[in-house]
Structure 1
């Protein structure tokens, strides 16, 4: 892998993470809380997928994209289940119950889970130092999130909402990796477009059926528009391309920045405060990403000659 491709891949990965980071506060705006609900999590999940699906049809027709081949449908289907349905639905319900800080404790595990799935599915390998940095970075994010929860007086206790968040993390990791698996053949833009189009038979009629019959705040509709256009669609253009160019093991660690970018976005969107502790932990996490990158050059895969065994190179 060329150094130029690695750098571009990491840059695109960070751009994708920045777009995804705003998903958490925007989802909270869209769904509201248990005490002040807005749009239902089911409606947000299906409506954002339907919106992205309609945009995808326009893109695929405009670019005269061919249909995926038969062996592409399985990974695309798994990406539908993970990124289009599983992650947003579980996240939406969890955010109605727990605070954003509490949710960050669990979702901070996403980079480590994504890297583990990449190693398992794509037969990628990395040095021990990479895994040490990945674990250290994840622990830093978890420690930061727990500290913020305690500072806010919420504490940290394992409850059923945490199971929803763990499910969301696993669903997102599966969707990321299987989507990236077919990106070399289909192209990053076409992958997410086909994923959204495949979900349309469920997402579009489901969104119309669940259309809210009560008054909804304009901010909730704005949150839905963001997660439909950017979180569900445009962000994946950068993310999948970054995974391919930079390597899934390497680029996935950029997700360690996501909780902090979410907090920055929550300052203007949700009125949350930013303090020095946040910046200090962010600097420490960035250090683990930088150090981990030095150890993340994959060793020779088990089947070096077979492109299909390790498509992200």
Structure 2
């Protein structure tokens, strides 16, 4: 990987890691649904002019059905679930749960698309989900004040990512990644609009929350999508997906620096196990392989 590509990978991880920080800041003021509506609306406003400039806007009409479903499964639903989870979970902890998305993606591909899973990937799935157990051990309480529902929401969000990734591969592989990004954000915006109007906060939202929501939409969504698709074009999906391993590191860093969050032993141990299992499940390394395999 060239130095420029590596730098973009690190910037992308920093942006997506910061998304958990910004949600922690803005979600209490907006509420999860209103916040995510602002996020996807801002991202749409950034991405749609680029689509128009490139002459790809017609694709929004031609592919509206799959784009609508991807907008629901890859943005509207998981973004709202994560925003709700951050009301009670730390940014670092939530980001480690987010790292399970590739595990769900591999499992969904096996169950739905009948994609073959060699032993190393089965082992990776097993190790990854054992890491989840280590991470949440002692925290899954559904009593008032417990974190069980928030943890469940975060894991449901990552499952939604896994379903969306496989659906996109089946239905949208032949169209521009930028069109998928812009179209899915627009679809998420339209889906969330009625709920956002209904659930819009009664009290004025503080400037800090508005700034955090703008950063979510511009930096952590629109810019991050452009960087991610640029990386896929330059280094391929198997290397671009390595961003998964860096996101929790930055989320924990930002949470510690700006929110005073503390890195706990279960987070460190569970996160390490999840990432090790993810690397196996993705086929990034295999037993006896001389070099990493592509996915």
Q: 1:178 to 1:242 in 2, by over 3 A?
A: farther
TM-score (normalised: structure 1): 0.70
Deviation for aligned residue 1:63: 1.4
Structure 1 spans left out of the alignment, 5+ residues: 33-37, 299-312
8 Å CA contact 1:264, 1:274 repeated in 2: no
Residue deviations 1:198-249 (CA, integer Å, cap 9, x gap): 334344566566554424333322221122123332222343565676446x
State how 1:83-162 maps to structure 2 within 5 Å: 83-100=74-91, 103-104=94-95, 106-120=97-111, 124-140=115-131, 143=134, 145-146=135-136, 155-157=139-141, 159-162=148-151
Distance in 1 of aligned mates of 2:220 and 2:86: 16
Deviation at 1:257, TM superposition (A): 3.9
Q: Distance in 2 between matches of 1:14 and 1:89?
A: 25
> For residue 263 of structure 1, what is the aligned residue in structure 2?
252
- Give the deviation of 1:74 after TM superposition: 3.8
Q: CA separation in 2, counterparts of 1:74 and 1:122?
A: 20
Report the aligned-residue RMSD: 4.0
User: Do structure 1's residue 61 and structure 2's residue 45 form an aligned pair?
Assistant: no
Equivalent residue number for residue 20 of structure 2: 24
Change (3 A) 1:30 1:136: same
Deviation at 1:23, TM superposition (A): 1.5
1:275-310: CA deviations, max 9, x gaps?
899778777766666665133737xxxxxxxxxxxx
1:149-182, Cα deviation, whole Å (9 max, x unpaired) = x7xxxx4435333332232122222233434556
* Match of residue 192, structure 1, among 170, 181, 184: 181
| Contact 2:5–2:231 under 8 Å retained in 1 | yes
Output the CA distance in 1 between the equivalents of 2:206 and 2:43: 22
Asked if 2 retains the 8 angstrom alpha-carbon contact of 1:16 and 1:239, the reply is yes
Secondary structure in 2 matching 1:225:
helix
- CA change 1:19–1:285 in 2 (3 A) is same
Unpaired stretches in structure 2, ≥5 consecutive residues: 143-147, 287-291
Give the CA deviation at 1:44: 0.6
Deviations 1:5-45 (A, max 9, x none): 9x99998776544432222121111113xxxxx11111112
**Equivalent pair of 2:124/2:276 in contact (CA under 8 Å):** no
> Bigger shift: 222-231 or 70-79?
70-79
Aligned length: 282
Contact 2:99 2:275 in 1 (8 A): no
Identify the residue that residue 39 of structure 1 maps to in structure 2: 30
Does the Cα contact within 8 Å between 2:109 and 2:115 map onto a contact in 1? Answer: yes
